[in-house]
Structure 1
Amino acid sequence: MKAWVFMDALSNVRSVIDDIDRELIRLLAQRQRLVEKAGRLKPKGDKAIVQASNRVSQVIANRRKEALELGLSPDVAESVWRSMIQAFIALEEKVNKEQ
């Protein structure tokens, strides 16, 4: 493959990835609004309820299963979700404390 063909193909792939990333950001913003709402609904200062370890385990198991069904590595899905959940729990704790 000639270098210019490779770079053009790579540019196209990156453009599609950027489009997907924009959609992910939109969805994450929507998720954030719901997490903030959940933080305000939960009893103030109850860290165990905010962290909801049983819910986290359930979500991870469900996302691994869905990933496998859709052709995504379950390990990649778990890594992404654990990171995302950790960040959103921190945000939810902050919102919960401020209410």
Structure 2
Amino acid sequence: MCNILIPSNMKTGIKKVKLHVKKNDTVTVISGNDKGKMGKVLKVFPVASRVIVEGVNIRKRHMRPLQGQTQGRIIEREFPIHSSNVKKS
């Protein structure tokens, strides 16, 4: 057996990915349903190359009633979009 040192990122198979946008950057959506909208980057997912932008790609989620609450509800929240669909502004 040969003891070879393998970098930790190669063991897990996760690549380091650098995106052109960071958290708190102001970006403009350049393609898709929300084309032309501007917003602040709330969260970045570098491995998936996706970002969550404030006020963009809003979807409705149906929440089940919890034990303490008597009713379920529908909430609207932002979902990730691909980083190639945004540019810094």
Q: Taking structure 2 as the reference length, what is the TM-score of the superposition?
A: 0.24
Q: Which has the higher contact order (CA 8 A, sep 6+)?
A: 1
Q: Taking structure 1 as the reference length, what is the TM-score of the superposition?
A: 0.22
When you count helix as a share of all residues, which structure comes out higher? 1
